[in-house]
Every structure is written in structure tokens, then in C-alpha cells.
Amino acid sequence: MNRHVATVRVRYAETDRMNVVHHASYIVWFEVGRSELMRAAGIPYRELEDAHGLLFPVIEVGATYRQPAAYDEELEVRTTCTTLSPVRVRFDYEIARPGSDQVLAAGFTVHACVGRETGRLARMPAWLMERLAP
């Protein structure tokens, strides 16, 4: 599963003094999208860490903001796995209003695959790469 759509609702705490979503909130929503994509692919983060001893720390993040969102709006987090190597994975994100092609924000995160015990790069097992394959 390399694409997933999750829904979030803008909470008051996620807005700023201008009554729009604070830029940092989008990064949190990227994590929601990524976590739900992995869960839908049958590999929830907790299982990846606890059962397989693998971590996916963020090593790069970027975002572009195009249109504001406001308190109590429902938004879609569209997440796609776009690049995969034995030790890295990249997810791309779009934040949009449901049923709209207008993207409010777009971004990406790049993650390294790291062994929990060693803290060093680890090769992703073949089954994991198959489930995330773009």
C-alpha cells in the first residue's frame, strides 16, 4: 500500500493568532498520514519497533504552504510512498479539503531505517519493502 487518505479536523490549539492553522501543525498531520498509511499496509509503527526492532527517524522534511485552513475545518491528508531504498523511504503529502483538488499544503519526509538496538542504519526486510513499494 503506497497511498492512503486520512482525515483530520483542525483543533483550536492548531491555529495561530491570525486564526489560521499554524505552519507546524502540518508536520504533525504528515505524521498522522504516514502512520495511517503504514497501519493500512499492515505494518503499524508499534509493531515495526517492538516486533521487528526497526525505527524510522525523520532525516529530512519540507513543506510548501499554498492556502490557509481554519479552526474546525475537516481536511484530508493524502500520503504516498514515493521513494524506497533498502535503508530509506520518502513519503509525500498533500493537505486538502475533502473532495477538492485544491491543495492547501504539500510536503515530504525522508526516513532512515535504523536498528533499535544499534542506532545504526539497517536494511529493510523484503516484506516491508514490498508493502511500501511505490
Tell me the catalytic residues.
Answer: 16
Contact 109, 61 (CB under 8 A): yes
Q: Which amino acid is present at 57?
A: P
Q: Which amino acid is present at 52?
A: H
Q: Taking Cα atoms as reference points, which of 37, 94, 90 lies closest to residue 64? A: 94
Contact 69, 32 (CB under 8 A): no
